[in-house]
Amino acid sequence: MFDLDGFKAYNDNFGHLVATCCSGRLAQALGHAVGSSGCAYRLGGDEFCALLSSDGGEAMVGDCLQALSADGDGFTITSSYGAVTLPQEASDPNLALQLADERMYAYKDSSRASAGKAERVTWRCRSWLP
């Protein structure tokens, strides 16, 4: 499970339409990072989920973190994550999501990744499309 850091400030500074385009681009990048090694989903807002095969390991998580990041003039977006190994750590989907969420916020608290205040800059949605 992944949660974007700095996205609320981005949305507040650049507007909802531009933020929607940005989250779409990040979702697409996550899908490319996961590739055929799993499935990627946008859960809503600034939360994403990736179901990965065990072959990818930490390198795949790193690829996902890289995909869910962006920076530019006046902003930085990074992401925090929480991972759960299925079925070893949780066989119930609700428990798996709960564990992933707890671990994601522990990671977020430990790293304090934040975009801080961003300057208002005018962006066009097409600048976020591939």
Residues 101 and 48 sit within 8 Å (Cβ to Cβ): no
Residue-range domains of the chain with CATH: 2-116 (3.30.70.270)
pLDDT digits (tens, 9 = 90+) for 65-113: 999 999 998 899 999 999 999 899 998 989 999 999 999 999 988 876 3
For residue 27 the two structure tokens come to 């979702």
In tens, the pLDDT along 23-74 reads: 999 999 999 999 998 999 998 889 999 998 877 678 889 999 999 999 998 8
Residue 112 is predicted with a pLDDT of 60
Residue 10 has pLDDT above 60, yes or no: yes
Question: Is residue 125 predicted with pLDDT exceeding 70?
Answer: no
Burial class (CB in 10 A: 0-12, 13-18, 19+), 94: exposed
pLDDT category at 129 given cuts 50, 70, 90 is very low
Q: What is the DSSP letter of 111?
A: H
